[in-house]
């Protein structure tokens, strides 16, 4: 099974072996994360929503690479801050469950984008 902890350790070693730790401030890593997310956006910018669900194999392979880059920088940033990203996501999900109770949200005429997620 592939674990985020193993990825974190591998990234730590990768940076140390190359003497790149000095570049890896949270500020710089947040910028690198934004750059990689934009490379994801680029694949979807001119597609209809429905088209973005039906990528061909070649495009999907590229998108998968960008997803890998995004997770790399997110895990590296989290490590530099001492944050466990999976724990952070679970905590946030629990908050969201309380904030948007399923029965209220589903029954409501309120637009989704006023809820956010």
Binders in 32-51 for its own copies, by CB under 8 A: 32-35, 37-51
Quote the least distance from Cβ 52 to its own copies, whole Å: 4
By CB under 8 A, residue 12 contacts its own copies: no
Contacting its own copies within 81-110 (CB under 8 A): 81-93, 96-97, 100, 102, 105-106
By CB under 8 A, residue 26 contacts its own copies: yes
Question: 18, 57, 58, 98: which one contacts its own copies (CB under 8 A)?
Answer: 18
Task: List Cβ<8 Å contacts ≥24 apart for 73-77.
Answer: 73/29, 73/32, 73/33, 73/36, 74/33, 75/4, 75/7, 75/8, 75/11, 76/8, 76/11, 76/15, 76/24, 76/29, 77/26, 77/29, 77/30, 77/33
| Residue 50 in tokens | 């429905």
Quote the least distance from Cβ 58 to its own copies, whole Å: 12
């Amino acid at each position: 099974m592939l674990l985020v902890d193993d990825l974190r350790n591998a990234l730590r070693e990768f940076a140390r072996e190359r003497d790149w730790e000095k570049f890896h401030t949270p500020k710089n890593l947040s910028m690198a994360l934004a750059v990689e997310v934009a490379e994801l956006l680029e694949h979807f910018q001119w597609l209809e929503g429905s088209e973005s669900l039906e990528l061909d194999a070649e495009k999907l392979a590229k998108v998968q690479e960008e997803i890998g880059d995004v997770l790399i920088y997110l895990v590296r940033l989290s490590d530099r801050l001492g944050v466990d990203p999976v724990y952070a996501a679970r905590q946030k999900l629990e908050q969201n469950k309380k904030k948007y109770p399923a029965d209220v949200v589903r029954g409501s005429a309120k637009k989704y984008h006023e809820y956010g997620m």
